Amino acid sequence: MHKHKVVIVGAGIGGLTTALYLHKCGIRADICEAAGEFRELGVGLNLFPHAMQRLDELGLGTALAAVGIEPKQFCFFSRLGQFVYSEPAGLYAGYPARHLSFHRAALHSVLLDAVRERLGHDAVRTDHRCVGFDQDEAGVDVGFVNAKGQTLASVRSDIVIACDGIRSAIRRVLYPQEGGVAFGGINMWRGVTIGKPVLDGRSAIRVGRISTGKLVLYPIREFPDGTQLLNWVAEVLMDVRKENDWGSPGRLEDFIGYFADSRFDWLDVPQLFANAGAILEYPMVDRDPIDRWTFGRVTLLGDAAHPMYPRGGNGAAQAIIDAGAIAPLLAGAADPRDALQAYEADRRPTTTKISLTNRSEPPDTIIDLVEARSNGKRFARIEDVVRPEELAAISEKYKKIAGFDLAATQARSRTQTSQ
């Protein structure tokens, strides 16, 4: 087993998971993070079984289950609130791992605590913003500045793994002409609302389509009084794009009109939005896939490599899977550059396909098909509009592309058990 010196740029989900996997393989990484402190950013996220398998392998399953909610099913509804389709989730569908929903900050906190416990508190250097790197035949020097713009001591390593997100500083060095993120016309507003459980309190729900206003809703926390913290996302197809980032505040009046009539016997959508503690607004963006991640001793991982639409739980999941792929390759390679090439050959074709599928054929296609066939009108029976087998086929196709079909996760589970 080879113990190469590794620097990870970025202490997000991808960076922390990579550090934990490297530690499992006998390699201690140094993590450099631009932020001076870790704040509770973002809102909810889903981790499907293919991602939870990896975190279970790192011994984090119990800690994550304690801070999240385990959905029993996925439910799809028309824009008029009529039931379209449902299927079981995670263990309830026979998967060897859970599906979990939680606040992004809760996941990040579990990962950060594990890194500090296993690698040492000094493994994460905050207030280190990467400004570039220089590499030679023997290694890489990474340059940093702090929040005041003061130059910090450079860090020398055998390789650098860029986990610094969709606006990656290292990717910008590698692709200086790339330009901004790609916007496909979808704006999103996100929030969390404390309220009574919706349906059975264990459902991840999608309602409507983006052309007329789409809602994604799932619980991420439970309270002793029986209420839940409900995470919601409103997506609308619009011509207007704002240069917003994760923490930009949103205004209810900018999107409530699309959902004004979305009052169902099982959910009052306008009230859900109005009761939100805070609303964030940002466009749904990604980047066009690139044909190379690895340049000598430097490679990209997670959103730095393959930023994708936040659909099907694949933003965080694919970064976690990247981490599980790169670590054993580095541990087994005499020349770490060979490991980086092998990692890219394994992961880049898969994530490229997922990124493009998230644009063209996401799981929401189930609702789009029903809305198109019913002309957006009320139907007496869903079976009169579409056969359940057609909807199941759409779901299964996406799962296979994203790597969380039942057969693939069961096969990985068997492989891990036999090792």
Q: What is the pLDDT of residues 355-393, one digit of tens each?
A: 988 887 777 788 988 999 999 899 999 999 999 899 889
Angle among Cα 143, 146, 151 to the nearest 5 degrees reads 50
CA distance 362 to 111: 28
Share of the chain above pLDDT 70, in %: 96
pLDDT at 152 exceeding the cut of 60: yes
Whether the Cβ atoms of residue 192 and residue 276 lie closer than 8 Å to each other: yes
For residue 117, which phi and psi values (nearest 5 degrees)? Answer: -70, -40
Alpha helices per DSSP H over 10-167: 13-24, 49-57, 61-67, 104-119
The label of the residue with tokens 């980047």 reads 287
Nearest to 174 by CA among 41, 407, 9: 9
**Within 13 Å of residue 327, how many CA atoms lie on the same side as its CB?**
26
Q: Report yes or no on whether pTM surpasses 0.85.
A: yes
For residue 408, which phi and psi values (nearest 5 degrees)? Answer: -65, -40
Report the pLDDT value the prediction gives residue 101, as an integer from 0 to 100: 96
Residue-wise pLDDT tens digits, 311-343: 777 889 999 999 999 999 999 999 999 999 999
- What are the structure tokens assigned to 411, written together? 């096969």
Give the relative orientation of helices 13-24 and 314-332 as an angle to the nearest 10 degrees: 30
Whether the Cβ atoms of residue 342 and residue 333 lie closer than 8 Å to each other: yes
Residue-wise pLDDT tens digits, 160-217: 999 999 999 999 999 999 988 877 788 889 999 999 999 999 999 999 988 889 999 9
H or E stretch including 359? helix 336-360
Q: What is the mean pLDDT of the chain?
A: 91
Contacts (Cβ under 8 Å, ≥6 apart) of 298: 133, 135, 140, 159, 160, 162, 170, 174, 340
